Every structure is written in structure tokens, then in C-alpha cells.
Amino acid sequence: MNDLSLSTARPAGISDAEWAARVDLAVAYRAAAHFGWNDTIYNHFTCRVPGEPERFLVKRHGDMFDEVTASSLVKVDMQGRALSFDDDVNPAAFAIHTAILGSRPDVQCTLHLHTPAGIALSARPEGFLFLNQEAAFFHDRISYYSFTGIEERPDEVKALADALAPHHHTLILRNHGVAVAGPSVQSAFIRMQYLLMCGEAQLLATAPSTPPQQLDPALCAYTRDQFEAQERHTAFQPELRALKRLMDRHLPGYAD
């Protein structure tokens, strides 16, 4: 863990585990801004509160990704209600997050984005194509959800939860964007990074009239297993440390 996880900005009453989760989630928000994934004040990353499985952390409504700090994150319940009267959140934005976190106890973090690559991928009729090594990471790990308008109806929480298969971690929201889940903040972040990279590569590869060559499904499954073994071994901790160093250079203050 970066030494900044022990920042004196930590408010009273927050456990060591929750503070560490807050720092990691703030790093993810700021790193996403650094990579150009943000959509002004919209889109959200959420993380389940350690020891409080029915509550999760999210940025305040109105904050941009690069403004998020560990102490500014809001704790909400599974109905998207802030647990402090002075915190401003947007309950209508939480259908995707409450659907996944509420139905998948194995998931600790969910990321939802509207990047150009993610939107374009969501609009492609053929869906996600397995064109490269990193794409194999998503073999038999992607679900799809058809666009029904802005997800703000109560019944859509169950529909979204049902859409993500039990062994899948990625949800392509047709004509909308993408959502990725993971057992940790860093796992969800790296999965999102791979997904957006593959989406950009797919758009470039399918621009010519000649159809691109896809990987054999058996080879995809083998390579996916290799990626997942690596993830189990390192838990993406080296990547998390690298992201913290990057933020220390470009967007310090995430642990405030």
C-alpha cells in the first residue's frame, strides 16, 4: 500500500479497511480522468464497504473524476441513498451498480463508463470480437443488455442483475456504454482498461472492408485461463501501485 493510505485527512470513525478501499477507489477515479475516460460529472465507480456488504462508496454528484478524494466519497445503501444528510448523490445513476453489487457477493467493485470506444463497441451488431491476446481475457465473460432508456425504473435493477451471468464480469450495455465488475478496485480497473483497449482495436480492425481474423475459441479459453491465473497470483497489486505512482506525479491529493 502507498504511504498516502495513512493520510491524516482520514475522518474519525472510518476503519483501516474502509480507508484503504477509499484510497484505492479515489486512485481509480483520478487514473480514469488521466486516461480520458471521464464524462464531466457523470458515470460512476463504486466499491463495497469492507465489513458492510450492503453499503458501497461512490463519488458525490457534481464531482468530476479528477476531484475525487478518499474522504469525499459518499457511503450509500443498496437503494442508492446517502447515509449522511449533507451528501449529494444521484440515486437514478445507481441501477447498474446496485444490480451488480446487490446480486453478486463475489463482486467488490463496479465501474461504468461512456467512453467513445465503449459506446461504439456497444453499438456494433456483432458485439465484442476476439481479435487479440487481451480480448481472450473476456472469453465467456461478457453479457449484453439491450437499451431501454436511462436506467431509472425500479424494475430495471432486477433486469440488469439477471443480464449479468454468474461467471461473467463484463456487461456491454447496448447503445449506451460498458460496465465491468471485479473482486477488487484494481481488478475492475484493469479489466476496464483491457476492454476499452480491445474496443478501440476492434474499431480500427473492422474499418476496412475485409473482415478481421478472430482467435479460435479454444485458444481464447486457454489464454483467458492464463490471464485469470495471473490475476489470482498478483491480484493486480503491481498495477495498483503503478497507478498510485502515476497519480502522485500528475494528480496528487487522492488520499485527502
Question: What is the secondary structure of 96-110 as a DSSP string?
Answer: HHHHHHHH-TT--EE
DSSP string, 5-32: GG-TTPPTT--HHHHHHHHHHHHHHHHH
pLDDT, position 72: 94
Residue 44 Cα to chain centre, angstroms: 8
pLDDT given at position 92: 66
CB of 240 closer than 8 Å to CB of 185: yes
Question: What are the Cα distances from residue 14, in Å, to 11, 59, 75?
Answer: 6, 17, 11
| Three-class secondary structure of residue 115 per DSSP | coil
Task: Write the DSSP string, 30-47.
Answer: HHHHHTT--BTTB-EEEE
How far is the C-alpha of 91 from the C-alpha of 15, rounded, in Å? Answer: 25
Task: Report the distance separating Cα 181 and Cα 186, nearest Å.
Answer: 10
Q: Are 186 and 98 in contact (CB under 8 A)?
A: no
DSSP state of 151: S
Which grid coordinates belong to 119? 459506446
Best CA proximity match to 89, nearest among 66, 57, 114: 57
Instruction: Please name the residues in contact with 13: beta carbons below 8 A apart, sequence gap of 6 or more.
Output: none
Query: Which residues face 57 on adjacent strands?
Result: 47, 75
Q: List beta partners, residue 256.
A: none
The whole-number pLDDT of residue 207 equals: 86
**The total number of residues written for the chain in this structure:** 256
d(Cα 224, Cα 134) in Å, to the nearest integer?
A: 8
pLDDT tens profile 99-149? 999 999 999 999 999 999 999 999 999 999 999 999 999 999 999 999 988
Structure-block grid coordinates of residue 179? 460496465
* 8-state DSSP, 173: E
- Residue 190 has which C-alpha cell? 484493469
Q: What is the pLDDT of residue 86?
A: 64
Q: Encode the chain (256 residues) as per-residue pLDDT tens digits.
A: 334 444 447 888 899 999 999 999 999 999 999 999 998 888 999 999 999 999 999 999 889 999 999 999 999 998 877 777 567 787 767 889 999 999 999 999 999 999 999 999 999 999 999 999 999 999 999 999 999 887 777 788 999 999 999 999 999 999 999 999 999 999 999 999 999 999 999 999 998 777 777 888 998 899 899 889 989 999 888 888 888 898 898 988 988 8
Q: For residue 45, give the nearest of 94, 99, 106 by alpha carbon.
A: 94
3-state secondary structure of 54: strand
Cβ-proximal residues to 103 (8 Å cutoff; 6+ apart), any chain? 161, 164
